[in-house]
Amino acid sequence: MPEIALYQPDIPQNTGTMLRLAACMGVTVHLIEPAGFPISDSALKRAGMDYLERATMKRHTSFSTFESWRISQDRRLILLTTKSAQVYTKFAFEADDILLMGRESSGVPDEVHTLADARLTIPMAAEMRSINVAISAGMVLGEALRQTGTFPKNQD
């Protein structure tokens, strides 16, 4: 099942929203530190609400520790970025992909761009800079889950 990775997130509300998304979709979130806020911050809890208890989050103390783990697991790193021409809906996702979301204020450094197996973008109206990172995560995760047939099953 695809997973989400957050590169040094700045905004606790976005992180909380993505943790809520992950809990609802049954996916793991990898938090790559340092974050721009205390992980126990009340704003994170407000955005994630009671879903935080149900979210699976793995913390990595640095990008290098995350990257070592990822390589040991033989997982593809798929970077969501405004600096790409490859549209996410035209990409073939695999079940073990990790969708990397950059820092809200600055994205990811060039060396992380270089390490990504693919760099994807969301098409948007001309002259618009970017979509909120949590909304972007939801859009692309939805497509990855659809393509890989890994949406959670309803308990009817």
Which pLDDT tens digit goes with each residue over 28-58? 999 999 998 887 756 666 655 677 788 899 9
Best CATH choice for the domain 3-148 from the list 3.40.50.2300, 3.40.1280.10, 3.40.50.10420, 3.30.365.10: 3.40.1280.10
Give the model's confidence band at 139: pLDDT under 50 very low, under 70 low, under 90 confident, else very high: very high
Spell out the domain ranges in the chain. 3-148
Compute the average pLDDT of residues 2-24: 94
The mean of the pLDDT values for the chain is: 91
pLDDT value at 59 more than 90: yes
pTM of structure: 0.92
pLDDT value at 156 more than 80: no
What are the CA-CA distances from residue 107 to residues 51, 52, 78, 93 (Å)?
26, 24, 14, 22
Considering only CA atoms, which of 101, 108, 112 is closest in space to residue 138?
Answer: 101
